[in-house]
């Protein structure tokens, strides 16, 4: 069993993760099997249409997904993920990612993640992790 | 009909796209319905496990996908995409994204994108775009 | 506007749908933007490993998804769908499919569908429909 | 190592698979890491719009995917799959499913499958299998 508390794992992960730091990802709430993150869209995150690049919404969702999957104590790596981009994101939008489901089996884990701005869902995400045998300490 | 040549659209898009510029995305080859891009993994693109964040591979694939879909002349926006992360990416890896299929219908477009490092496929991606009525000029 | 009540559309669709009838799909509950269906696994639905073929879980989820999307009144066709098979399904299992989200935009619609047997989630599904201009009457 | 020849595994699987038999799936060509199947759309496979139910295209693609993944000798089960429905399928269409890629890692396998009618691609599919330790004999 891992000696670290489940809710401390995402904080440790974020402290070690240069890209999530570049994105400015903030941890809103975490508990075992659950993660809620926030991110403010900045001008350097835009694409040629002056909307947030699809990679930004994806990266936020994938981070919430990965953080939640790792709260179970073992290193879990994202192997399959899909995202539906429903609403365009603009500079200064504050985007929330929240895991909606958490199923942890021996080798695999599954989750949904919703992205929202205010009351509006802007993207939906579904993913599968592979759970390695390595533990967070 | 759009007055711009298909192969010039991705170059124009990249010139207007701050996030793809931050990623250091390079256009290797483009033609109508086809796009091949490259990206070098830098230290600020890593995650807590010292591999490239999943958002980096996704952003590269989504950019190749979007660029290829826009070569047909109308603004096309990514609505659904999925990616399988097959091999971890490390700092200094040079990753190539190449579209493998291109189907452009009136309102929708479909493609596969393969990501590779050297001879090895590191990720596979599939996506759907919505083709708006706005044209590249 | 469509003259048929939203909740009557799935009943009409099922009455016209030979494959869903072959599957033995039963409507448990429907309302605008929501659908809950049931299906009993029969021996002719099994694969070579004596589990339900993946196409059975998919077909049930896709039917719930399609029925819910059509309750908004216009013909909606599934364009992209993904499913995670979490637990194997066996002969005689009664599987419930329930939509978990419903977002209907002008041309596109989005939903999650959960499949369960008893209290256990056995598969998760996410999809995108294209909403045509043709109405249910 | 498995004692059965790779190309014999799909034939054995089909002989044991009641649902693929009901579908009328025919093996066109198989070899290690590759599978090409055919299926004729029958009236009992249609949906309420008189097109083939999405579950039919999915089941054909998933079968080709599963057959190819099992040619590597170990039981492989589909855990995540996605399909884009590009063209509607009609009664009497003969649909071909052909795997387009085959990556078999220790625990996981990845593939694309294209579905076509004549020269036209009608659907594209991507999937992940989990490779168990049980071998085909």
pLDDT greater than 80 at residue A2: no
pTM above 0.80, yes or no: yes
Q: What does DSSP say about strands D94-99 and C103-104: parallel, antiparallel, or unpaired?
A: unpaired
Question: Is residue D83 in a domain?
Answer: yes
B:38-97 residues touching chain C, CB 8 A cutoff? 79-80, 82
DSSP A17: -
Q: What is the mean pLDDT of residues B81-85?
A: 98
The CATH number linked to C54 is 3.10.129.10
CA distance B57 to chain D (A): 17
Interface test with C, best of D21, D25, D48, D57 (most C CBs within 10 A): D48
Residue A77 host element (H or E): strand A74-85
pLDDT at C65 over 70: yes
Smallest CA–CA distance from D82 into chain C, residue: C82
Name which of A17, A44, A47 to mutate to probe chain B: the one with the most chain B Cβ atoms within 10 A of its Cβ.
A47
Q: Do C128 and B130 touch (CB under 8 A)?
A: no
Residue B93 lies in a domain: yes
Res C1: pLDDT: 54
pLDDT digits (tens, 9 = 90+) for A3-44: 799 999 999 999 999 999 999 999 999 999 999 999 999 999
For D79, the closest chain A residue by CA position comes to A128
Say if A2 falls within a structural domain.
no
Hey, are the CB atoms on A108 and D79 less than 8 Å from each other?
yes
Model confidence at C3: pLDDT above 90: no
**Averaged pLDDT of chain B:** 96
Flag if C124 and A126 touch (Cβ within 8 Å). Answer: yes
Residue B101 pLDDT exceeds 70: yes
Residue D99 pLDDT > 80, yes or no?
Answer: yes
Task: State the Cα–Cα distance between residues A56 and A22, nearest whole angstrom.
Answer: 11
Residue of C118, C11, C114 lying closest to C57 (CA atoms)? C114
Give the closest of D49, D60, D79 to C75, CB-based. D49
Averaged over A55-64, what is the pLDDT?
98
Nearest to C19 by CA among D60, D39, D88, D56: D56
Determine the pLDDT at residue D22.
98
Across the interface, whether the CB atoms of C17 and D59 are under 8 A apart is answered: no
- Overall domain count for chain B: 1
Q: Which of C124, C130, C129, C76 is nearest to C97 (CA)?
A: C124
Q: How confident is the model over B29-47, as a mean pLDDT?
A: 98
The CA-based dihedral angle spanning residues B132, B18, B11, B73, taken in that order and rounded to the nearest 10 degrees: 0
Confidence of residue B77 (pLDDT cuts 50, 70, 90): very high
Cβ contact D85–C77 (<8 Å): yes
Q: Residues of C with CB below 8 A from A33's CB?
A: none
Residue A3 lies in a domain: no
Q: pLDDT (tens digit, 9 = 90+) per residue, B18-32?
A: 999 999 999 999 999
Cβ–Cβ of D80/A128 closer than 8 Å? yes
Q: Is residue D119 domain-resident?
A: yes
| Torsion over CA: C11, C13, C18, C21 (sign) | negative
Interval D35-94: pLDDT, tens = 999 999 999 999 999 999 999 999 999 999 999 999 999 999 999 999 999 999 999 999
For residue A99, the enclosing domain spans 8-135
Determine whether the interchain pair B55/A48 forms a contact, defined as Cβ–Cβ distance below 8 Å. no
Q: Does the residue C58 lie in any domain?
A: yes
pLDDT in tens, C17-51: 999 999 999 999 999 999 999 999 999 999 999 99
Q: Is D80 within a domain?
A: yes
Between B103, B108, B126, which is nearest D126 by CB? B126
With H, G, I as helix, E, B as strand and everything else as coil, classify residue A118.
coil
Residue C60 lies in a domain: yes
Q: Which of B79, B99, B109, B110 to mutate to test the interface with D (most CBs of D within 10 A)?
A: B110
How many angstroms away from the CA of D18 is the closest CA of chain C?
Answer: 5
Chain A residues in contact with B16 by the CB 8 A cut-off are 47-48
Mean confidence (pLDDT) of chain D: 96
- Asked if B132 has any chain A CB less than 8 Å from its own CB, the reply is no
Contacts of residue D12, Cβ cutoff 8 Å, sequence gap at least 6: C48, D4, D136
Q: What is the pLDDT of residues C114-137, one digit of tens each?
A: 999 999 999 999 999 999 999 999
Q: How far is Cα A94 from Cα A60, in angstroms, rounded to an integer? A: 11
**What is the C-alpha separation between D8 and B39, in angstroms, rounded?**
42
Contact of C112 with C99, CB cutoff 8 Å: yes
Average pLDDT of the residues in A104-124: 97
- Residue B67's φ and ψ, nearest 5 degrees, are -60, -50
Taking the CB of residue B3, how many other CB atoms lie within 10 A of it? 8
């Amino acid at each position: 069993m891992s000696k670290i508390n489940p809710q401390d794992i995402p904080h440790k992960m974020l402290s070690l993760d240069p890209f999530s730091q570049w994105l400015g990802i903030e941890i809103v709430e975490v508990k075992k099997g659950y993660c809620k993150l926030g991110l403010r869209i900045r001008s350097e995150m835009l694409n040629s249409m002056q909307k947030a690049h699809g990679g930004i919404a994806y990266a936020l969702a994938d981070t919430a997904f990965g953080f939640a999957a790792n709260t179970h104590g073992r290193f879990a790596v994202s192997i399959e993920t899909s995202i539906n981009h429903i609403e365009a994101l603009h500079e200064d939008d504050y985007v929330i990612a929240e895991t909606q489901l958490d199923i942890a089996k021996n080798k695999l884990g599954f989750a949904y993640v919703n992205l929202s701005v205010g009351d509006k869902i802007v993207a939906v995400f579904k993913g599968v992790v592979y759970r390695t045998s390595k533990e967070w300490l």
